[in-house]
Chain A
Amino acid sequence: MYENLLNISEASKLLGVSPSTLRRLEKSGYIEEYGLKVIYTPGGQRRYILDEIQQLYSNQGFSGQIGFGKKIALLIRDLTIAFTDPHSQLSIKIEDQISSAKQLIEEAVIQKIPIVFSKTIYEPDNKVSRLWSEKFPSLQILDHQSTWSQIHPDLSGYSFDIINPTVYITDLYNNQVNDYLQSKQIDTIILAGATTSGSIRATAVDALQRGYRVIIPKEAVGDRNQTLQNSTLLDLNARYADVISLDKTLKGMKK
């Protein structure tokens, strides 16, 4: 029925992982999430389909899962009016991001997990702000005081450990945030908010570089269209972060 079947050592060589990693990923269910079939021979040997393996390797790379560490922080970005109101030039395609963020916040409060809410603002006196707004002038609506910069009403009632108004793309270009995470001995960062291809992605890369494990619940992040959303999550999962379901994230937050 299938042509070009590979045994486990051939498949793992193509994917650049060890056979034991491949077996482990199968046990934890990740092989299925990657859309790979594992066929068992009557003798119990694993076989993989060459086409699928090649497609996986060339399209998204293959990656291990890093998993949760011991101390978690929740970082929420830009779930403000500007990014969630359909009338705004900056808005994302809203699906379940707000309700997902609510669930994450409520679990974080129960588990005493610190929460940082970062929001992009425009400061005319800041060089980076001015430069970035040359690329897209609609950034200028994000005046610190304006309605656009206010937190989404469904989330504004919660108390956050830090509110971080920032002119930067990543949440971590701020010593106050970094010092806080270090003082709490955080080793795992959960990211929620907008936009997936923008600040979420940049913060994920930056956080990994700083040694944090990065978890992205896919229902809790959003972008301006589905292509950006999907391709970014594939990339992130292949290179920098664990992209998992909201349910799995909520489970991981429980002690």
Chain B
Amino acid sequence: MLAYCDRPWDSSIGKVAPRYGEATPIRLAVNAVMAGCEPEYLPVLMAAVEAMCDPAFNLYALQATTHPCAPLLIVNGPIARELEINAGVNAFGQGRQANATIGRAVRLMLMNIGGGYPGTGDMATLGAPSKFSFCVAENEAESPWPSLSVERGFDEGISTVTVVGAEPPHNVNDHASSSGIGILKMIAGTMRTTGNNDIYNYQEGTYPQPLVVFGPEHAKSVSDDGYGKEAIRQYLFEHARVPLGEFSRENIDNRFSRRYGADAPADLQIPVFKRPQDLLIAVVGGPGKHSAVFPTFGATQAITRAISREDGRPALSIADLKAR
């Protein structure tokens, strides 16, 4: 399992909350074996752990919360294709070893190293199937837009892992709209929910980053009508809003009156995300007229890490990481 680990097996990759157990390559490898990973997958797992241990990701809260969030891994770049991480048909579902086992290794690591065991370190009320495994690649070949990793500052050709503290997908079924604006309207409608952490669970200055995943057919229709990612963000910022009166009185008093004033009117439109630039957008999936919205835990920031060699240089291929 350590054939593609170019660093000492006992070196520290990070301390995993809430137990703050130390993640090392050897410990990750044990969990990866239990998950059914191939040795080539370990560098993806290591990059994901690095990303999750970034304080801005807020892993302590993501692990311990009652909310049903889980770290979603989105892999970009040539290594995603080399490892055959599914970006197409049924990408979030079953049927591909890389997606299933990398995601499963993440969860085993979160429990065995981080202490996120149900009922003690993980207090999720309902949990979610995505807490079993939650890993995809972006369908860059069918995306009309710059990839998620390029948008997040990495060059084309650099392989990255982005972690998002997300809920499971909320589907947007739209077989009827043939226009970009029609599809965006349907996505905004799906985003507009009251039971949504992103709408309130943040601290001023650092804002939630919900994710919209476009299926390739929806992406093409939206792009063909002239929408780039910036225009999509602006539209959804303006239209994914919940009138204050839709919330219960107790929620208004406890969660909104401090921010919007005790006398805020019932028709005040509360944005699901605070700033257009915070919305994450990716293209994933196969044929069909579906997209998905992923609310997040709220108080978490998506983190992207390049899959890199020990000296910090990005790996162009998994072979670059072969143990010496």
Same complex origin of A and B: no
Interface residues, chain A, with chain B CB atoms under 8 Å away? none
Interface residues, chain B, with chain A CB atoms under 8 Å away? none
